[in-house]
Every structure is written in structure tokens, then in C-alpha cells.
Amino acid sequence: MDSIASEQVLAPFIEDVCRGSRRGGTRPRLLLVMANDTGRAAEFRPAYVEALDSAVEDSFDYVDVWLDENSTLQPAALERVDGIVVAGGPTLVYRDGLAAAAGAVKEAVANGVPFLGFSAGAMVSASRALIGGWRDCGRPVCHEDWSEGLDELTTDAGLALVDFTVDVHATQGGLLTRALSLACHVGIDRVVAIDEGTCLSVPIGSRMDRGWQISGAGFAWVIDAAHPDAPRVRRIAE
């Protein structure tokens, strides 16, 4: 998922949450993880809650976890939740804040708890996650505004929920060139760059692109790095 979007775009996640709710007779409960390194999580929270609640007759119950240098996601927070939502913001904050619970998140998803990542939340879902950067071998591959304070393209261990690296804001941010450059790196087999207002749903245990579902107004750009110097690009849409 890239940016906060419409009910239609969120529908696959919402349907999975409601279908798999483990707490019959009560409202489904979502774990909402947000970066709070600048103290602005409370300011951005209503937009996420409004978008998620607009897709159901009632509203969800929420377990809020705000990440900063003194707060990380603990495995206990995942108990008795019906869905996991990781918001957008600084990718480094999510990388650091989710690290201690990465195994628990992966286990929960493997056991059928749906995961929804917005922007940075989608980026950290990968086995090899893109953390930031705007240069490749010293050459610019996107605008510096998208660097997240890093110079060279930087990857690190992510949540390992999907077997491809994720970039976001692909068309709108001009980041398709960054994704293409990343696909030329040794150890990166596939990159998926997602447009804004677009959600890519990947079934548990999916390999390659089997069972993928896309919703929203944009594309997901699938870049296969079968040969590092000549990646193959496909685009998929709803």
C-alpha cells in the first residue's frame, strides 16, 4: 500500500480482517503502529482511523503503538489482534522500532492475521527492505527529497513478509528510477514499486506473483532482476 486512500483500495485488507476475526461478537481489533519521532503521531492518527473505519458499518477497536527512540513494538502487543497496520513516515524509525517484534509479526501473519503497510510500512514488509538513499554509485537516481537522510541506496533486513523489495510513490515521486537502480544490485532479485492510491495484496506464502491482487487507481511496477544489467519491467493494475 502506498498512501492513505479510499474504501475501495482498502477493501481487500478489511475483508480479510472481518472474515478472520478471532473475537466473535465483538468489533475486530487492529494494531495501529505509527512513527512518533517528531511527536506528531496524534496529529496524523485520525486520517488512518477515518480511512479504515469508513470501510465498515461500525468502527474498529485499536491498539496504538507509537514508535520513537524510547518506544518499540513488543510481541505482547500482537496478542488478540485481527489485523496489523503500519503507517507511513520515516522508514528508519519503523526498521528500528519493529526489529524486536519482527519474528512475532511474521508468525502472526503466517497464522492468518492480515498486514497492511502504508508507504514506509510497506517498505519494511520486505525480506530485504529499502531504507532510503537517492544515489547509486554516487549518481543521482531520484530527487534528494526522498533520501530519508541517506546518500547511497541502503537496504537492511525487514519483516520478511514478502519475498521482494518494495519502493513506493513510484510514479508520483519519480521513484521508478530508484527501483530500477536497486534491481541492478547483487542480492536483489525483485523490486515492486507501488503508485500512490494503490494497494497490492499478496497471499500468505505467495511466490512470484501467484494470487496477487491489486486495487486502486495506479500501477504496481514489477521489476525482475534476472540479469543485473537488464532488469525486466512489468506493470499490473486493477
First and final C-alpha spacing in the chain: 13
Please give the Cα distance from 227 to 28 (Å, whole number).
45
- How far is the C-alpha of 104 from the C-alpha of 78, rounded, in Å? 8
Instruction: Read off the pTM.
Output: 0.93
At 179-235, the pLDDT tens digits run 999 999 988 999 999 999 999 999 987 776 778 999 999 999 999 987 767 789 999
> pLDDT, tens digit, for every residue of 70-129?
899 999 999 999 999 999 999 999 999 999 999 999 999 999 999 999 999 999 999 999
Q: What is the set of domains in the chain, with CATH numbers?
A: 7-237 (3.40.50.880)
